[in-house]
Amino acid sequence: MKAASLHELKQELTHLPTKELLELCLRLGRFKKENKELLTYLIFEAHDERTFIANVKADIDTEFASIPKDNNLYLIKKTLRKILRTITKYIRFTGSKIVEVELLLYYCKVLKQSGIPIYKTIALTNLYEGQLKKIKKALTSLHEDLQYDYSRELEEL
């Protein structure tokens, strides 16, 4: 079965009655956890971006607290990548460059403050440097005032 294009789906959805549209959304939410999380974001959290960012930052702090304290770099790297996957998922939900910059800056700050030896292995170094590159790329699409504010934070890192 070949999936229809977004344009075709949009046209069909405009012709559906509200009740059928509701049933389709609920059915979509049943299949994957990520679909349910996206629907939750769109319905409950999309209107208040500041609160959403604060909640994600709290999740990041919780995840960093769960990083193993022994110097097993493999487990540390694995946990850091897991945190990054979660952040990337939330960034995709919002579609906002401001949220992307804020969350990635926060991730990098917490990573540096955690005392994890970033520059001890190439993998951790590349992970950290890759996030800095993503931040710089996202900064170019923001307003000049925001670029200035966030670039000052980036320089601190």
Which residue in the block uniquely carries the two structure tokens 């990083």?
67
What 134-140 contacts at long range (C-beta under 8 Å, 24+ apart), as own/partner pairs, is 134/100, 134/104, 135/100, 135/101, 135/104, 135/105, 135/108, 138/97, 138/100, 138/101, 138/104, 139/101
pLDDT tens digit sequence for 55-107? 999 999 999 998 887 778 888 899 999 999 999 999 999 888 889 999 999 99
pLDDT score recorded for residue 24: 82
pLDDT score recorded for residue 154: 77
φ, ψ for residue 79 (rounded to 5)? -65, -40
The rounded mean pLDDT for the chain is 86
Contact yes or no for 53/99 (Cβ under 8 A): yes
φ, ψ for residue 33 (rounded to 5)? -65, -40
Is 16 a residue whose pLDDT tops 80? yes
pLDDT tens digit sequence for 42-63? 888 888 889 999 999 999 999 9
Neighbours of 139 (CB within 10 A): 19
